[in-house]
Structure 1
Amino acid sequence: MNLDTIVALATPPGVGAIGVIRVSGVKTIEIVNSVFKGKDLTSVASHTIHLGTIRDGETIVDEVLISIFKGPNSYTKEDVIEISCHGSQFIIQQLIKLLLRKGARLAKPGEFTQRAFINGRFDLAQAEAVADLIASENESMHSAAMNQMRGGFSQEIKRLREELIHFASMIELELDFAEEDVEFASRDDLKQLIFKLKTLITRLTESFTLGNAIKNGIPTVIAGKPNAGKSTLLNALLNEEKAIVSDIPGTTRDVIEDVINVDGIAFRFTDTAGIRTTEDKVEAIGVERTYAKMKDASVIIYLIDMINDDLHDIETQLAYLHELEVPYLLIGNKMDQAQPELKEALAKEKALFISASQKENLENLKDALKELVSLDSFKTGNTIVTNLRHYESLVQTNDALDRVITGIDHQVTNDFVAMDIRNALHHLGELTGEITTDDLLDNIFSKFCIGK
């Protein structure tokens, strides 16, 4: 048990109506009670709120509300008090200094959540989801973090890990009876369990592409020939003049990025240099970057200029899009002045028609984007892996399980099979926190805000 009592501001710094100071540890009630004038906090019930004043000697620092949560029924499973005071930075500083003089110490980043993990409030994957929940900026990020924080894949992985531990112990027991040639663990049952684990792990690792996109924004490239209206479209979607718009071809020479929230889904839009052959060295670099961005994109919005493009150009552009094998939306821009034959040809390609300059049909474009992005597994509540550390642990676990299967099929000795099982267990344990190191925990929780 940690004997330190920690304190930190739990609300964002800056002037506000209120500030919340959080205190956690074995001496929480004793320390706060020593400066609180109101009810005796040592005798009040848990999960109650009390009005009073905080005093430094005879000087009233502030009138506050004290919320008390007695362990283990608190966030950290320790005694926790939250002091709601007025949001003056001076008052907050005075209160924290007073608590420090009375025996508390300043909390490190993420230390409240780290204590919650150490005290068994939740596993490591759930603890990491707390930071994702705080950072969530749209419905998709919020739902993914909330699902993981409530258990997500942790419970299923823990159950399968316990079964794997049982098999490992049986195989290691066989080592003690090697001369008697006995089998305590059925190899067929072990393989069946491993295949079940691999099915789960494969589903989770495959979800990482979607999870990473949900967390960081779906990479969406706006591409097309010069003057197709790419910058105008980005500005229209953002409702601000982010990109320079000009009739001069080749105005955009570098990529311009911004994030747009479309009904709870974050799209990281990239406006790119127009695709064409050019003698201008700077513009040529921009075109090369456009090709690179298109290859790496999750979605491409490809604009056709329905005033100036011709059918041959469109066929060439479509051929290149097909080669990329990246999901794309074909957009016919400048619909208000379109060449009839171009509009007819693009309609056969199921293009969507818009006018970026007039902001016409942009809602249809957003709807088409949502349909193009596969969020079926997310919408049905399935667990989505959004954390790179989790993904890497799952991949390493899967590799170890492959070695177990290979070992069984080739009838390798039990000590090698047991070693590979232990390796798989190690990586699964790192995922949920059964196996940790101080360096790992420090790295994870140092990324949290102070006060959480």
Structure 2
Amino acid sequence: MIQLDPIAALATAPGIGAIAVIRVSGQDAISITNRFFRGRDLTRQASHTAHFGTLRNRPDASGEETIIDEVLVTIFRAPRSFTKEDVVEISCHGSEFIIQQILRRLTEEGVRLARPGEFTQRAFLNGQFDLVQAEAVADLIASDSDASHRAALTQLRGGFSRQLKTLRQQLIDFVALVELELDFGEEDVEFAHRDQLRQLMLDIRRVLHPLIESFSTGNAIKNGVPTVIVGKPNAGKSTLLNALLNEEKAIVSDIPGTTRDVIEDELFIDGIRFRLIDTAGLRQATDTIEAIGIERTQQKMRDASLVIYLFDGLNIAPTDLRDAVAEVRTSGKPYLLIGNKLDAIDAGRKEELEGIASEPIVWISAARHTHLDELKAALSARVRTDAAVQTGSAVVTNARHYEHLTGTDNALARAITGLDTGVTPDWLAMDLRVALQHLGELTGEITTDDLLDSIFSKFCIGK
């Protein structure tokens, strides 16, 4: 592996703590650290070993080396390290002063301070993993729920990228044969068997389609599921939000139209992050401010991944419920019907309203916190209907991946149509090249410096 110029950065979170870890990677990382480490000779130690000692300042005028800190130095020799370069990890006390002193000594010895994501970028450049897996490192660090952690870990372990790389290589072989035909254009020869090429393209699209379809779920897993609570004024939307969060987040009042702006907070259910959004009641506005609030409600409904339609089971008219169900159905958004004030209605009223809705209703009492567990279970089940979430299969959470997957699929669809219509090999080769370009950029086999800088600049320093 190529050992690039040595870099260093704090690998643990900044701030005062018991321990901090400073990571050094690159050419001569071990020997450079050894210059001001007093303990065993690090250059003679085996990989994956830890050594106690002290780090020293340069000798002063009297020749004395003052101690910076007592540390534990761990050695990872290339290529058996995260970056596949020589790596040193210095565990020191978590004083900001000590950290800066150690980084200063490293720079004095010729080490450069790392840029954001530079360690992971080196791991990618040295072939530790592909670009999809490299991006999963950032997602894994940022994961804040069981679902986002599982999606990032699946992607880090290879996910769909290894399978796509194999299929891409097979497609490259076919493209080479198609382009070879161009050299014999006047002889009407066919090196690439069209039936085999068609089958390969169909196989690739069969892999792509579940990944493309998983993006809406994957994006929600990564960023949280935007879940908007809508309904008529005084249906109990703010009471429900407070009950789910177990705090007085929203003002509750008997006066219709109390909530005029959007109120948001987060709730974790079964490892999934829901971004709950309380909104103004849906009705004819009585003033300009309320009209703005209702417009924001409608916008949140358009942006949401899941809609909770809450209605007052005691006072709602059957026609109003019928109209409400029709409205949420036509929105095209996944939704749940929630009947409130369970404590005040009888079984006959419930049966009547369920017949009008013609679909299941989750019954609760927001004020009394009744059946909230059933509501949470329904929310979790509504998101987990996606098989990928249930099984831990690969889920696309990255917009860049989605763009290249759809670009590949579109190019292959054009190529298949070309086969059906008998296009010339040069037109067929053009669509196949576009598909290969997208697959190559997806996994990092085709990259530009600007692309890598854009991706890794979003990482934290030290990773």
Q: Same fold (TM over 0.5)?
A: yes
Decide whether the 8 Å contact of 1:306 with 1:339 is kept in 2. no
The AA in structure 2 aligned to 1:52 is: G
Alignment of 1:413-424 (within 5 A): 413-424=424-435
Offset, 1:420: 1.7
Tell me the equivalent position of 1:71: 78
What is the aligned counterpart of 2:454 among 440, 443, 448? 443
User: Does residue 382 of structure 2 align to residue 372 of structure 1?
Assistant: yes
User: Counterparts of 1:181 and 1:346 in 2: how far apart (Å)?
Assistant: 71
Decide whether the 8 Å contact of 2:79 with 2:85 is kept in 1. yes
Tell me the equivalent position of 2:136: 129
User: Does residue 363 of structure 2 align to residue 353 of structure 1?
Assistant: yes
Decide whether the 8 Å contact of 2:318 with 2:353 is kept in 1. no
Decide whether the 8 Å contact of 2:3 with 2:85 is kept in 1. no
Decide whether the 8 Å contact of 1:224 with 1:275 is kept in 2. yes
Change (3 A) 1:176 1:48: same
User: Counterparts of 2:394 and 2:4 in 1: how far apart (Å)?
Assistant: 37
User: Does residue 248 of structure 2 align to residue 237 of structure 1?
Assistant: no
Tell me the equivalent position of 2:123: 116
Decide whether the 8 Å contact of 2:260 with 2:290 is kept in 1. yes
User: Does residue 394 of structure 2 align to residue 383 of structure 1?
Assistant: yes
User: Counterparts of 2:100 and 2:247 in 1: how far apart (Å)?
Assistant: 39
Length, aligned pairs only? 452
Tell me the equivalent position of 1:333: 340
User: Does residue 209 of structure 2 align to residue 202 of structure 1?
Assistant: yes
User: Counterparts of 1:119 and 1:356 in 2: how far apart (Å)?
Assistant: 56
User: Counterparts of 2:347 and 2:143 in 1: how far apart (Å)?
Assistant: 45
- TM-score of the aligned structures, taking structure 2 as reference length: 0.94
The AA in structure 1 aligned to 2:317 is: D
Decide whether the 8 Å contact of 1:311 with 1:342 is kept in 2. no
User: Counterparts of 2:277 and 2:252 in 1: how far apart (Å)?
Assistant: 15
Q: Residues 39-74 of structure 1, C-alpha deviation per residue, up to 9 Å, x if partnerless?
A: 100001100111111111311111111111001000
Offset, 1:351: 1.8
User: Counterparts of 2:69 and 2:353 in 1: how far apart (Å)?
Assistant: 69
Offset, 1:244: 1.8
Offset, 1:182: 1.8
User: Counterparts of 1:267 and 1:218 in 2: how far apart (Å)?
Assistant: 5
User: Does residue 406 of structure 2 align to residue 399 of structure 1?
Assistant: no
Offset, 1:345: 2.3
What is the aligned counterpart of 2:281 among 274, 281, 293? 274
The AA in structure 1 aligned to 2:353 is: L
Change (3 A) 1:215 1:61: same
Offset, 1:403: 2.1
User: Counterparts of 1:325 and 1:398 in 2: how far apart (Å)?
Assistant: 25
The AA in structure 2 aligned to 1:431 is: L
Tell me the equivalent position of 1:56: 57
Decide whether the 8 Å contact of 2:147 with 2:221 is kept in 1. yes
User: Counterparts of 2:387 and 2:411 in 1: how far apart (Å)?
Assistant: 30
Offset, 1:427: 0.7
DSSP-derived class of the 1:42 partner:
helix
The 10-residue stretch of structure 1 (299-308 or 258-267) with the greater mean CA deviation from structure 2: 299-308
Offset, 1:79: 0.3
User: Counterparts of 1:191 and 1:264 in 2: how far apart (Å)?
Assistant: 42
Tell me the equivalent position of 2:8: 7
- Unpaired runs of at least 5, structure 2: 59-64
- Unpaired runs of at least 5, structure 1: none
DSSP-derived class of the 2:365 partner:
coil
DSSP-derived class of the 1:448 partner:
coil
Tell me the equivalent position of 1:363: 373
Decide whether the 8 Å contact of 1:310 with 1:342 is kept in 2. no
The 10-residue stretch of structure 1 (323-332 or 54-63) with the greater mean CA deviation from structure 2: 323-332
User: Counterparts of 1:297 and 1:15 in 2: how far apart (Å)?
Assistant: 40
Tell me the equivalent position of 2:61: none
Q: Residues 153-185 of structure 1, C-alpha deviation per residue, up to 9 Å, x if partnerless?
A: 011100100000000111111222223222111
User: Counterparts of 1:40 and 1:75 in 2: how far apart (Å)?
Assistant: 23
DSSP-derived class of the 2:412 partner:
helix
Change (3 A) 1:312 1:3: closer
Offset, 1:340: 6.1
The AA in structure 1 aligned to 2:43 is: T
Offset, 1:186: 0.2
User: Counterparts of 1:250 and 1:340 in 2: how far apart (Å)?
Assistant: 30
Q: Residues 341-386 of structure 1, C-alpha deviation per residue, up to 9 Å, x if partnerless?
A: 5433234443222121222211111001112222322221321110
The 10-residue stretch of structure 1 (211-220 or 331-340) with the greater mean CA deviation from structure 2: 331-340
The 10-residue stretch of structure 1 (244-253 or 306-315) with the greater mean CA deviation from structure 2: 306-315
Q: Residues 171-224 of structure 1, C-alpha deviation per residue, up to 9 Å, x if partnerless?
A: 111222223222111011101101111111111111101111111111211111
Tell me the equivalent position of 1:320: 327
User: Does residue 234 of structure 2 align to residue 227 of structure 1?
Assistant: yes
Aligned-pair RMSD on alpha carbons?
Answer: 1.5
Change (3 A) 1:341 1:281: farther
User: Counterparts of 2:189 and 2:459 in 1: how far apart (Å)?
Assistant: 51
The AA in structure 1 aligned to 2:404 is: S
Alignment of 1:170-319 (within 5 A): 170-319=177-326
Offset, 1:228: 1.1
DSSP-derived class of the 2:43 partner:
coil
User: Counterparts of 2:303 and 2:402 in 1: how far apart (Å)?
Assistant: 20
Tell me the equivalent position of 2:32: 31
The AA in structure 1 aligned to 2:368 is: Q
Offset, 1:263: 1.1
- TM-score of the aligned structures, taking structure 1 as reference length: 0.97
Identity, % of aligned pairs? 62
Offset, 1:246: 1.7
Offset, 1:20: 0.5
User: Counterparts of 1:406 and 1:228 in 2: how far apart (Å)?
Assistant: 53
The AA in structure 2 aligned to 1:379 is: Q
Change (3 A) 1:196 1:255: same
DSSP-derived class of the 1:261 partner:
strand
